[in-house]
Amino acid sequence: MPQQVDPNQGLSAAQVAQRQQIGVAQLVLDDIVVYQTGDQIAADAKVCAGEVLVNEALLTGEADEIKKPVGATLMSGSFVVAGTCRAQVAAVGAVAYINQLTLAAKATPHGEQSEMIRTLDQLIKVIGVALVPLGILLVWQGLAVDHESLHDSIVIIFDKLNAF
């Protein structure tokens, strides 16, 4: 689950054309925030000057850094890994991306499975069902075709499986 932004994290924001350090909880729409390497994006914002590389892995699962030039959107909860920019706050509080993501995650029923988990479950069932006839076929081959004893047929099957 995405990490919540620390409301006590200090940021450099320009409110009323005056640069000052403020807390995340004090951010309001249209504030200009200065982000630099190592900062966590505290509120959704639009880059208005500079360029940064951002890690959005906590939000999207994407491990690659994403270049954010002027005009790009910064999503709250991501991290600046390189560069410096000034960004205009576009969303704070409950409407910020990280908070919407958190609310959606909390609203998901505990028993609900993702598409990937459902597909893996189906694959495991198919493989499990296919193994029984395959095992019977291999034992029959050892007994009827290769004229081996039941014990030898089973031992040969497991030896072949261990070779993988």
Q: Which residue has the higher pLDDT, 38 or 24?
A: 38
Q: Are 96 and 44 in contact (CB under 8 A)?
A: yes
Whole-model pTM over 0.85: no
Determine the Cα angle at 16 with ends 15 and 20, to 5°. Answer: 40
Q: How far is CA 91 from CA 13, 29, 55, 108, 144, in A?
A: 15, 6, 19, 24, 73
Q: How far apart are CA 110 and CA 80, in angstroms?
A: 32
Q: Which amino acid is at 55?
A: N
User: Which one, of 130, 150, 147, lies nearest residue 139 by Cα?
Assistant: 150
Q: Which residue has the higher pLDDT, 1 or 22?
A: 22
Q: Are 71 and 49 in contact (CB under 8 A)?
A: no
Write the secondary structure of 80-138 as one string of H (helix), E (strand) and C (coil). Answer: EEEEEEEEEEEECHHHCHHHHHHHHHHHCCCCCCCHHHHHHHHHHHHHHHHHHHHHHHH
- The tens digit of pLDDT for each residue in 87-121 reads 999 988 777 777 777 777 777 666 667 788 889 99
Residue 10 has pLDDT above 70, yes or no: no
Q: Which helix (H) or strand (E) holds 57?
A: helix 57-60
Q: Are 92 and 30 in contact (CB under 8 A)?
A: no
Across 66-70, 103-107, 139-143, least confident range: 103-107
User: Which one, of 14, 54, 56, 51, lies nearest residue 34 by Cα?
Assistant: 14
